[in-house]
Amino acid sequence: MPAKNTAVASMKSASVSTTHSLAIAPAEYAARRAAVLKSLKDAVALVFAGDMDASIHGEFQAGAHFNYLTGITDEAGAVLLFDPLNPVEARRTILFLKPLNPELEKWDGFRAEIASALKAKYGFATIMRTTAFARFLLDATKRTKRFALLHSLAPHNAPVSP
């Protein structure tokens, strides 16, 4: 009986330690985005995280496509823009996040400002607020004249169920 308990304890400790080793590094998400960027050739593409809606109960969970390419699960309203023909290499993949909202963040938790620490955490060279999204999308589509949507067709502010 003691041997069995030892085995169970050892399995539990192994599962705890592997949980941390299973976390995907930002470099893996960057490699996934690089592969998508390369496959797009000269088309602009978007991936939306989705947004919260009053009818959704529970915590927000980003759409699967967005999560696969970014690893970000908790940024409602975020957008990933692929712009393969952007002359500035750092802007060929841009992450757009909603503006900070101090009133809402008192209840939902504080969000980080855009700085080098946030860029390193998410593995992006360029992160901007969604207030700049329309301008960058327009510039990109003027430059490429081709557009791809990398998930189901939906409005940019469509809610994503938890």
Q: Count of CB atoms within 10 A of residue 64's CB?
A: 11
For the chain, counts of helices (H) and of strands (E): 6, 5
Q: Does 107 have pLDDT greater than 80?
A: no
Give the model's pLDDT for residue 152.
73
Q: Cβ contacts of residue 88 below 8 Å, gap of 6+?
A: none
CA distance 78 to 51: 8
Give the model's pLDDT for residue 6.
39
Lowest mean pLDDT among 32-36, 75-79, 87-91, 157-161: 157-161
**Are 127 and 114 contacting, i.e. CB atoms less than 8 angstroms apart?**
yes
Instruction: For residue 137, give the 3-state DSSP assignment.
Output: helix
In percent, the amount of the chain with pLDDT more than 90 equals 46
Mean pLDDT of the chain, nearest integer: 79
Q: What does DSSP assign to residue 157? A: T
Partner residues linked to 79 by β-bridges: 48, 96
pLDDT tens, residue by residue, 123-152: 999 999 999 999 999 999 999 999 987 877
The domain 40-162 having CATH identifier 1.25.40.10: the answer here is no
Give the model's pLDDT for residue 76.
84
- SS3 percent helix, strand, coil of the chain, rounded to 5, is 45, 15, 40
In percent, the amount of the chain with pLDDT more than 70 equals 75
pTM value? 0.77
Q: What are the domain boundaries of the chain?
A: 40-162
Strands 44-48 and 79-82: antiparallel
Higher pLDDT, 41 or 62: 41
Burial class (CB in 10 A: 0-12, 13-18, 19+), 127: middle
